[in-house]
Amino acid sequence: MSDEVLIVIGDATECLDTLYPYYRLIESGFRPVIAAPEKRKYQLVLHENRPGWTITKEWEGYTLDADIAFSDVVPEKYAGILFSGGRAPEYIRYDKDLVRMTRWFFEAKRPIASVCHGVEIPAYADCVRGRRMATVPKCQFDLEVCGGIFVNEPCVIDGNLVSGRTFHDNGQYVGPWIRMLEAARSADG
């Protein structure tokens, strides 16, 4: 099996949702591959609930170059996939090539991670039916309307699927996902 792992982003993807697992993959000997609607530079953002605000406040963060466009992804070449959060999943989830590759990873039972709004991608792709997942509470509806089961915990493992609520859960859910990728790599020998 390849040591390459997809990280799905778009403009307004959350910085910590993306960069923490990106560098943890490198530490574990994997090569993160940034996949996006097209191969170009993307603007990441910072999201935080501020005192007195009833919605999430957003600031521009770092930029990140996509390595590959969704249309060019051959899913069989990758060990796993991560659906990062932020606002990007709200619009990229409709991309037919992203839907295709999302379904492939679920059907192939490769290690999958999702954080925060990332749930909107597998939910739209009809991959969450009957699956237990963590997500940010404001995405509970997106998960449940598509047949998923919302669990308000920092790390939820359901078979090959590992999920966290927000970047505050990075220390709880990213490690188990990487251990799944390592186990799959060892099994393929």
Alpha carbon distance 162, 48 (integer Å): 23
Query: Taking all residues of the chain, what is their mean pLDDT, rounded to a whole number?
Result: 95
Please, which pLDDT band fits residue 47 given cuts at 50, 70 and 90? confident
Alpha carbon distance 163, 155 (integer Å): 6
What letter does residue 132 receive in the DSSP assignment?
E
- Give the CA count within 13 Å in the CB-facing half-sphere of 25: 26
pLDDT digits (tens, 9 = 90+) for 51-98: 777 777 788 999 999 999 999 999 999 999 999 999 999 999 999 999
- Helix axis angle for 170-188 and 15-27, nearest 10°, is 40
Q: Give the predicted TM-score (pTM) of the model.
A: 0.96
What domains are there in the chain, each with its CATH number?
A: 4-188 (3.40.50.880)
Instruction: Please give the average per-residue pLDDT across 11-29, as a whole number.
Output: 97
pLDDT of 99 above 80: yes
